[in-house]
Amino acid sequence: MKSKKIKGLYAVTADEANTEHLLSNAKAALSAGINVLQYRNKTASKQLAAEQAEALLLLCREYNVPLIINDDVELALKIDADGVHLGASDGNLRDARKKLGEDKIIGASCYNRLEIAQFAAQNGVDYVAFGACFVSGTKPNAPKADLKLFTQAKQVLDLPIVAIGGITLENAPSVIQAGADAIAVIGALWNVSDGSAGDAQAIQKTTQQFTQLFGQPI
Ligand SMILES: Cc1ncc(COP(=O)(O)OP(=O)(O)O)c(N)n1
Ligand SMILES: Cc1nc(C(=O)O)sc1CCOP(=O)(O)O
Ligand SMILES: [Mg+2]
């Protein structure tokens, strides 16, 4: 069942113009145990986005990890990615389902609003995301979502619930405790470096630390 794949550490890529760097970072996270990867690059041209998404898809296939495309149903269709993530201004959920078919994963941003999640669930999404849980360096103006929302959502929704926004190794336990099935992370995963060993090793170590919070083996 495809929605069962949405759990644990859900890595979301940072805006990265250097494809080699993007791929080596992604490989580090994949090799250390992320469960889902979302390609999100708000600064790429259409051509760069297509190239980067295609290269990430090949890498994800090696690790049997689904690749979700942010915002762009057409790109997901073009490269046969595993799904899309859509926010309030990214198009209609039913239209996306019609285009992508039943086998693809569709996720919806629900911000801090349970009723958006209920609407998304009625419109056939495979997971819902709430945020921002904490102040996010990536998206400083994102509206805040109270962690109580996860507990409430869990009681009324029968879908995986993803938490996003400012999640770090320190605050992730409170989000998981509140009921999130997955945590979506950008800054605290990719903006790490241990100085000597390089980015890839630091990303691997951070991935393992996040994954252990869910009680999964490393
Ligand atoms: C897992 C996940 N949750 C939320 C978002 C945010 O989507 P959106 O509100 O459309 O904002 P942008 O990411 O497009 O800036 C997400 N991408 N992934
Ligand atoms: C893309 C995104 N969406 C958010 C929301 O609240 O919907 S917060 C966010 C940024 C997440 O990045 P970081 O882990 O660096 O805070
Ligand atoms: Mg969006």
Percent of the chain predicted with pLDDT > 70: 96
For the chain, the average pLDDT equals 95
Catalytic site positions = 40, 109, 139
Is 3 inside any structural domain?
no
198 assigned to a ligand binding site = no
Does residue 1 belong to any structural domain of this protein? no
Q: Is 122 annotated as belonging to a binding site?
A: no
Q: Is the residue at 67 inside a domain? A: yes
What CATH number has the domain bearing residue 45?
A: 3.20.20.70
The answer to whether residue 78 is domain-embedded is yes
The b-or-e profile of 124-140 (16+ CB within 10 A means b, else e) is ebbbbbbbbbbebebbe
**What is the full per-residue pLDDT of the chain (218 aa) written as tens digits?**
787 899 999 999 999 999 999 999 999 999 999 999 999 999 999 999 999 999 999 999 999 999 999 999 999 999 999 999 999 999 999 999 999 999 999 999 999 999 999 999 999 999 999 999 999 999 999 999 999 999 999 999 999 999 999 999 999 999 999 999 999 999 999 999 765 556 899 999 999 999 999 985 54
User: What residue ranges line ligand 1, CB within 6 angstroms?
Assistant: 12, 38, 40, 70-71, 85, 87, 90, 107, 109, 129, 131, 162, 164, 184
State the distance from the centre of ligand 1 to the C-alpha of 46, rounded, in angstroms.
18
Let me know if residue 2 belongs to a domain.
Answer: no
Asked if residue 61 belongs to a domain, the reply is: yes
Write out pLDDT tens, residues 15-42: 999 999 999 999 999 999 999 999 999 9
Q: What residues make up the domain containing 116?
A: 9-212
Q: How far is the CA of 114 from the centre of ligand 3 (A)?
A: 18
Q: Is 71 annotated as a binding residue?
A: yes
Residue 185 CA, closest ligand 2 atom number:
14
Question: From the CB of 88, is ligand 2 less than 6 Å away?
Answer: no
Contact 66, 5 (CB under 8 A): yes
- Residue 162 in any domain: the answer is yes
* Closest-lying ligand 2 atom to the alpha carbon of residue 139: 10
Q: What is the pLDDT of residue 1?
A: 75
Domain membership flag for residue 84:
yes
Tell which atom from ligand 2 comes closest to the C-alpha of 87: 7
Q: What integer pLDDT is reported at residue 194 of this predicted model?
A: 65
Cite the DSSP H helix spans in 33-147.
46-63, 73-79, 93-100, 114-122
Distance of alpha carbon 160 from the chain centroid:
12
**Which residue has the CA at smallest separation from atom 1 of ligand 2?**
139
Q: Which residues contact 56 (CB under 8 A, 6 or more apart)?
A: 13, 22, 23, 26, 37, 39, 67
Measure 197 CA to ligand 1 centroid, in angstroms: 31
Number of domains within the chain: 1
